């Protein structure tokens, strides 16, 4: 019997974790799970909009994937769910084949999640975690810094109320905004800027207060009382109630082949983001994680999530930090968070009807500000000009050419340096 449990523990690390589970550990998991769950409600909706999906899909993406990761994950504190980087990769990649928000787009995004899950699962089974070494730290830093600017710029229309007709390049967004600034909706702009300021001030005051949820509640209340939506302020509107339903109609081999480049990029970048924060927290807490087991866990979470209307998910930096600080001891904290999301989609979605889109845009802009890694640029300027050049080439290529092209160029540079060094 002990051998069976030991074998199952290798497949499902949660089993081994629970063998010495204590009441104090349970209390920590419940506290952390509730904190992260509350934090992720507005973030999930914001990242769904960033990915070109209806807001409710951000809630769906934080239910089934969290349950599955809790079973397979070797990191005790990693908080899985929607993240800004992956959302940007989704809209940049899938947006080439369908209009964001359309039924075709949603189907392709669900298929992308399935493809990412299958790719990561196979990488984990065949112990191919070493492939992410081709994404060197300078390349990843340059890519994420450029992505932070792209994500921030993409939210300018929601912050200002200006319709930029699908313009995506950062410089084009800035130029068009300057040309059409007279068309900005003053109330929308005040809500957006006020939300950014509110989140920053609350965070400086106390990290334990869910700043995003506070500005969401304030935005909903003020919009309802003063009818801002009648003054041109865009609101979320109706959000469907009920748990995500099981479906397979999006599965298509032809579309899977079409999406393969997008799937490849998301699989590697999302794993890099997840494993980086998982290793950092594990080192701090004094235990080791299994990189290949993490691939299995993330892959399984994406596969299961895809069949229940989830777009691609991974471990997030800020949420994992909050999860750890709030007392998470095991992956049971993720199950608590998932249960909060289940209750939200069952009973609470009508509360978000008057939520201004500018508030969600503000949440995104504040969240991605930390992705711009200027400290790494300064450090490499002093210590390693070769790595700095790699970072800057990836940064400029991503800004000028696009997300997939930028990361592709960065990988090629990394390979070239490995071969010729």
> Between the CA atoms of 155, 157, 163 and 168, what dihedral angle is there, to the nearest 10 degrees?
-40
Question: Model confidence over 258-278: pLDDT tens digits?
Answer: 999 999 999 988 998 898 888
Percent of the chain whose pLDDT exceeds 70: 95
pLDDT band at residue 195 under the 50/70/90 scheme = very high
φ, ψ for residue 390, nearest 5 deg: -60, -45
CB 112 within 8 A of CB 266: yes
Question: Model confidence over 199-219: pLDDT tens digits?
Answer: 999 988 887 777 888 999 999
Question: Model confidence over 100-118: pLDDT tens digits?
Answer: 999 999 999 999 999 999 9
- For residue 7, the model assigns a pLDDT of 54
- Higher-confidence residue: 222 or 148? 222
Give the residue from 59, 30, 54, 57 showing the smallest Cα distance to 42.
Answer: 59
Euclidean distance between CA atoms 227 and 340, whole angstroms: 29
Average pLDDT, stretch 161-171? 79
Secondary structure, 3-state, 49-74: HHCCCCCHHHHHCCCHHHHHHHHHCC
The overall average pLDDT reported for the chain is 88
Euclidean distance between CA atoms 339 and 362, whole angstroms: 26
Question: Model confidence over 303-317: pLDDT tens digits?
Answer: 999 999 999 999 987
Structure tokens that stand for 331 in this block: 């992956």
Where is 315: in which H helix or E strand? strand 314-315
- For residue 302, the model assigns a pLDDT of 98
pLDDT of 2 strictly over 60 = no
Question: Model confidence over 59-96: pLDDT tens digits?
Answer: 999 999 999 999 999 999 999 999 988 998 999 899 99
Secondary structure, 3-state, 116-128: HHHHHHHHHHCCC
Residues belonging to the chain = 421
pTM here is 0.86
Question: Model confidence over 117-142: pLDDT tens digits?
Answer: 999 999 999 988 777 766 677 888 88
Exposure string over 180-192, b if 16+ CB within 10 A, otherwise e: eeeebbebbbebb
3-class state of residue 348 by DSSP: helix
Structure tokens that stand for 240 in this block: 């469907």
pLDDT of 421 strictly over 80 = no
Give the residue from 91, 30, 13, 7 showing the smallest Cα distance to 329.
Answer: 30
pLDDT of 5 strictly over 60 = no
CB 75 within 8 A of CB 323: no
CB 389 within 8 A of CB 396: no
φ, ψ for residue 139, nearest 5 deg: -65, -45
DSSP state at residue 131: G
Give the residue from 211, 245, 209, 212 showing the smallest Cα distance to 345.
Answer: 245
Q: How many CB atoms lie within 10 A of CB 27?
A: 12
Structure tokens that stand for 171 in this block: 């410089």
Where is 314: in which H helix or E strand? strand 314-315
Euclidean distance between CA atoms 399 and 288, whole angstroms: 36
Classify the C-alpha dihedral 260-262-265-271 as positive or negative: negative
Q: How many CB atoms lie within 10 A of CB 374?
A: 9
pLDDT of 384 strictly over 60 = yes
Euclidean distance between CA atoms 270 and 299, whole angstroms: 11
Euclidean distance between CA atoms 194 and 173, whole angstroms: 22
CA distances from 399 to 99, 115, 419 (A): 22, 26, 26
């Amino acid at each position: 019997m002990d051998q069976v449990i030991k074998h199952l523990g290798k497949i499902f690390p949660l089993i081994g974790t629970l063998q010495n589970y204590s009441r104090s550990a349970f209390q920590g998991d419940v506290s952390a799970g509730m904190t992260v769950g509350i934090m992720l409600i507005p973030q999930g909706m914001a990242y769904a909009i960033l990915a070109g999906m209806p807001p409710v899909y951000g809630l769906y993406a934080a239910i089934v994937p969290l349950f599955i990761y809790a079973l397979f994950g070797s990191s005790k504190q990693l908080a899985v769910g929607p993240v800004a980087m992956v959302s940007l990769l989704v809209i940049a990649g899938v947006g080439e084949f369908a209009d964001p928000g359309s039924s075709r787009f949603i189907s392709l995004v669900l298929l992308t999640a399935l493809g990412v899950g299958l790719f990561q699962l196979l990488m984990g089974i065949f112990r191919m975690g070493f492939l992410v070494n081709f994404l060197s730290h300078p390349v990843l830093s340059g890519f994420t810094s450029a992505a932070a600017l792209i994500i921030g710029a993409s939210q300018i229309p929601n912050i200002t109320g200006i319709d930029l007709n699908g313009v995506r390049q950062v410089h084009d967004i800035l130029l068009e905004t300057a040309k059409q600034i007279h068309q900005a909706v003053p109330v929308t702009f005040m809500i957006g800027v006020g939300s950014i300021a509110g989140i920053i001030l609350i965070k400086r005051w106390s990290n334990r207060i869910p700043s995003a949820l506070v500005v969401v509640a304030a935005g909903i209340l003020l919009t309802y009382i003063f009818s801002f939506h009648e003054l041109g302020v865009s609101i979320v509107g109706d959000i469907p109630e009920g748990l995500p339903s099981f479906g397979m109609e999006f599965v298509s081999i032809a579309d899977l082949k079409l999406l393969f480049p997008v799937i490849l990029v998301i699989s590697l970048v999302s794993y890099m983001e997840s494993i980086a924060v998982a290793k950092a927290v594990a080192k701090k807490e004094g235990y080791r994680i299994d990189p290949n087991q993490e691939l299995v866990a993330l892959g399984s979470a994406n596969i299961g999530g895809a069949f229940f209307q989830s777009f691609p998910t991974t471990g997030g930096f800020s949420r994992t930090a909050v999860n750890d600080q709030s007392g998470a001891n095991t992956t049971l904290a993720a199950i608590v968070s998932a249960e909060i999301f289940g209750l939200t989609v069952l009973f609470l979605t009508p509360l978000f009807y008057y939520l201004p889109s500018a508030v969600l845009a503000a949440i995104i802009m504040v969240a991605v500000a930390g992705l711009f890694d200027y400290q790494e640029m300064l450090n490499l300027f002093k210590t390693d000009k070769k790595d700095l050049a790699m970072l800057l080439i990836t940064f400029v290529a991503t800004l000028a050419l696009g997300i997939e092209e930028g990361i592709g160029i960065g990988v090629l540079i990394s390979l070239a340096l490995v071969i010729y060094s």
